[in-house]
Amino acid sequence: MVESVNRICNPLEGSINEKLSRIKEAFLKKMSMDTAKYYIVAGERGMKKKIEIDRSLIRLPKALEEIELTKVTE
């Protein structure tokens, strides 16, 4: 399991890009690109990734709301 996580986190291996491509394909089988674009993890290879969904639409379980979040700077 540790090896799998290390491969996904290593930007030189490309494992994360393979997984994200499969996830994107699954979304596109269920909805149009106009809708899916808000849920697909996007970003250039080896660069920061993001999901376009409006954060106000996300509801977290109460236990997660208690965790202090840190803002990621650009």
Distance CA 52, CA 17 (A): 17
Residues 25 and 18 sit within 8 Å (Cβ to Cβ): no
pTM, entire model: 0.64
* pLDDT for residue 6: 83
pLDDT of 55 higher than 90 = no
Length of the chain: 74
Tell me what the mean pLDDT of segment 17-35 comes to: 94
Among candidate residues 72, 74, 38, the one with its CA nearest the CA of residue 58: 38
Distance CA 25, CA 42 (A): 13
What are residue 42's DSSP bridge partners?
50
Q: What is the mean pLDDT of the chain?
A: 85
